Structure 1
Amino acid sequence: MSSKKEATLPKRKKKWTRDDTELTFLGIPTFIWYVCFCYLPMFGIIIAFKNYKMKVGQGFFANLMTSKWAGFKNFEFFLKSGNFKLLLKNTIGYNIIFIILGILLPVTLAIMISLIHSKFKSKVYQTMMFLPHFMSWVVVTYFVIAFLDTDKGLINNIIESFGGERINFYTESKFWPGIFVFMRQWKGVGYGMVVYLASITGIDGSLYEAAVIDGATKWQQVKYITLPSLKSIVIMMFILSIGGIFYSDFGLFYQLTRGASGSLYEVSNTFDVYIYNTLLGGGDLGRLAATSLTQSVACCCTILITNYIVKKIDKDQAII
C-alpha cells in the first residue's frame, strides 16, 4: 500500500529551476538601475537635516559630514515661510483640475475613437492627439510665443484686426490659469487616451454583439459595457495621479512663462518652480532639500491614504 501511495503522490517541484535563473538575469539590470539611481541618491536626504555649508577645498561628502546638524529647523523655516500657503494653493489647486480633466477628457476621447468604424481615420486621430506628448516644453514654449507675443503674436494680430488693443499676456496674470490648464491637457490628453483605448480594445466583443441583438443603442453600450469595464484602469490612474499631487510640471509653469517671476508670480509659482528659483539664486541647500523631502513624504502619504480608502470601498480595485 505504501508503494502505491508513493507512486500516486505528485513529484515535489524543485526549489530553483532554469526559468527562475533566466528571469533573475533579466531582472538584475533593473535591480542595479534602481539601486544606483533611486536608492543610493537617497543618502542625500541627510542634507535636509543639516546646516549644509560648502567649504573651499573640500568635496561634497566632506562638507556634508562637517556641516552642523539642524534637526527640523529647515522644515520649520519652509512651513512657516510666507510663500508656503501660496505654493500649496497653486500646486494642489492646479493638480486637482489636472487630475479631474486628465480622466474625463481621455476617457471621452478614447470612447469616441473606439466608435469610429474607419481604422485609417482612427489611427490618424490617435497620432494627432498623441504627438504633443513627445514634444518638450521648450519646443511648446515657442508655439505659445507665436500665439501670445505682444508684437507679432497671432492672437494679438487678430485682436488688432477687429479694432482692439494688443494684450501683453506675459504681464497679465489673469489669463494664465486657463492657459496652464489648456496646455497641460493639450500635451497630455493623447497619452491618457491611448491607455484607455487599449483597455477598450481588450473588452470582449461578444458583449457588444449581445447588446446589439437586444436592441441597445450606442449610448447604452457605452454606459453598461464600456464604462464599467474601464472602472479598474480609471481607479488605478486616479490613485497614481493622486500620488503626485504635491509635485508640479516644472516645464509647464516655468518654461511656458519664460521664467517670468514678477507679474505672474501669484499664478505660476509652485513647489518645483520655487525650489529651482531659490537654487538659482544661491539659496540654502538644506532648506531646499527639506522642501523636496516634504513633497516626497506628503505624496507618499497621499497615495497610501487614497489606496486605503479605495481598498475599504472595493478591495479588488486597490493597487497596494
Structure 2
Amino acid sequence: MQSFLNVMRKNKWLLAMAAPGALFLLIYAYTPMLGLVIAFKRYRFDEGIFGSKWVGFQNFEFLFATRDAWRITLNTLYLNALFIVIGTVSSLIVALLLNEVRKKGLLKFYQSALFFPYFLSWVIVGYFTFALLNYDSGMINKLLESFGFSKIQWYAKPNYWPFILIIVYVWKNIGYFSVIYLASMMGIGHEYYEAAKIDGANKWQQITKITIPLLTPVITIMTLLQIGRIFYADFGLFYHVPQNTGMLYETTDVIDTYVFRSLRMLGDVGMASAAGFYQAVVGLVLVLLSNWIVRRINPDNALF
C-alpha cells in the first residue's frame, strides 16, 4: 500500500494530466455499458431499464430469426473487408506518391485537397453522389449519353452499388489514412535509402525492401483496429449514399441500417441493443483472434 502511494505521489502531475481523458472514457465509454442489460430485457420506457421484464436471449432470436439476417451479416462483413483491403492499399499508394513530392508548398496543397473530403458529412456526400448518378440529370448519365450509351438507373441496379460504395468510401477516407502512413514514412531514417542507393537499388526496390517492411507495424495496427469494427458498418455511408432506396437493399443493407429501420418502425429498443451487443462481442473476438495470429507470425507487430 505504501509503495502504491509513493508511486501515486511521484507521478501526481502525470496523473493530473491524464485525469480529463480518463474521466471522459469513464463517462462516455464505460458508464453506458451498464445499458447492455437492455439487450436481455423487453424494454418499456414506463418501467425503466431495471424494471423491464427479463427475456434472456429473446431479442437475439428476433434479430437473427428473420430471412434478412444472413444477407445483412454477409453484406456487413463483405463490404467492410473490401473497405479494409482496398482502403489500405490505396492509402499506401497515395502516401508513397506524396512522399516523393519535394516542394513543401505543393505537398501541403495535396494533403489538404485529399484530407478535405474526410470532413464532409455523409449527408453532403450522399447528395454529391445523387447529383452524379441521378437518372434524369446526373453527370454520369449525361456523359454516357454523350458517348452514345444508354442511361443507367443507378438507384434501381443493386449490382453496381458495391463498387460505388467502395469508390465513395476511398474518396472520403483516403486522405486521412494516407496522412498516417506518410507521417510514418517521414520517420524512416534517410541513411537507409542512401545505403540502398549506394548498393544500386532503384526506387521500386527501395519501396519494397525498406519502406513497406518498416511500415508493416503501423499497417498491422491500423488493420487490427479496423477488423475490430468490421461488424460495425458506417451508418452514414450505407444509409445516406444509397438514399435508403429499397431496391438496393440486396447489396447495401447492413446490420446498422437494418436495425435503425426496425427501431424506427417497431420501436424495439431491446432488439437494437442486442444488435449492438452482438457487434461488440464479435468485434472483440476478431481483434483478439487477429492479434493472436499476428503475434504467432511476428510478435513485434502485434497490437498487444
TM-score, normalised via structure 2 length: 0.94
Report the equivalent of 1:40. Answer: 31
- 1:195 CA drift (Å): 0.6
Higher alpha-carbon deviation: 263-272 or 156-165: 156-165
- 1:18 CA drift (Å): 6.7
Report the equivalent of 1:68. Answer: 53
Residues 147-183 of structure 1: CA deviation (Å, up to 9, x unaligned): 1112221112222333443322222212211100100
Structure 1 residue 30 corresponds to structure 2 residue 21: yes
Q: 1:24 to 1:72 in 2, by over 3 A?
A: same
Report the equivalent of 1:123. Answer: 108
Tell me, what secondary structure is at the counterpart of 2:154? Answer: coil
Alpha-carbon distance between aligned partners in 1 of 2:159 and 2:206, rounded to the nearest angstrom: 42
Larger radius of gyration: 1
Higher alpha-carbon deviation: 239-248 or 14-23: 14-23
Kindly report which structure 2 residues correspond to 1:213-228, keeping only aligned pairs within 5 A, or say none.
213-228=198-213
Report the equivalent of 2:179. Answer: 194
Alpha-carbon distance between aligned partners in 2 of 1:142 and 1:84, rounded to the nearest angstrom: 29
Alpha-carbon distance between aligned partners in 1 of 2:193 and 2:169, rounded to the nearest angstrom: 34
Tell me, what secondary structure is at the counterpart of 2:73? Answer: helix
Q: 1:134 to 1:157 in 2, by over 3 A?
A: same
- 1:16 CA drift (Å): 4.1
Report the equivalent of 1:182. Answer: 167
Kindly report which structure 2 residues correspond to 1:9-28, keeping only aligned pairs within 5 A, or say none.
15-16=6-7, 20-28=11-19
Counterpart selection for 2:150 from 160, 165, 173: 165
Give 1 or 2: higher helix fraction. 2
Report the equivalent of 1:6. Answer: none
Alpha-carbon distance between aligned partners in 2 of 1:308 and 1:318, rounded to the nearest angstrom: 8
- 1:70 CA drift (Å): 0.3
Unaligned runs of 5+ in 2: none
Higher alpha-carbon deviation: 219-228 or 299-308: 219-228
Alpha-carbon distance between aligned partners in 1 of 2:144 and 2:150, rounded to the nearest angstrom: 7
Alpha-carbon distance between aligned partners in 2 of 1:242 and 1:40, rounded to the nearest angstrom: 24
Counterpart selection for 2:195 from 210, 217, 237: 210
Tell me, what secondary structure is at the counterpart of 2:242? Answer: coil
Alpha-carbon distance between aligned partners in 2 of 1:130 and 1:67, rounded to the nearest angstrom: 46
Report the equivalent of 1:82. Answer: 67
Tell me, what secondary structure is at the counterpart of 1:71? Answer: coil
Q: 1:212 to 1:167 in 2, by over 3 A?
A: same
- 1:283 CA drift (Å): 3.4
Structure 1 residue 112 corresponds to structure 2 residue 103: no
Residues 239-271 of structure 1: CA deviation (Å, up to 9, x unaligned): 1111111110111110011121x2011111101
Aligned length: 301
Higher alpha-carbon deviation: 161-170 or 179-188: 161-170
Report the equivalent of 2:299. Answer: 315
RMSD over aligned Cα atoms: 1.7
Higher alpha-carbon deviation: 86-95 or 309-318: 309-318
Unaligned runs of 5+ in 1: 1-11, 56-61
Alpha-carbon distance between aligned partners in 2 of 1:132 and 1:80, rounded to the nearest angstrom: 39
Alpha-carbon distance between aligned partners in 2 of 1:205 and 1:239, rounded to the nearest angstrom: 29
Q: 1:33 to 1:154 in 2, by over 3 A?
A: same
Structure 1 residue 303 corresponds to structure 2 residue 294: no
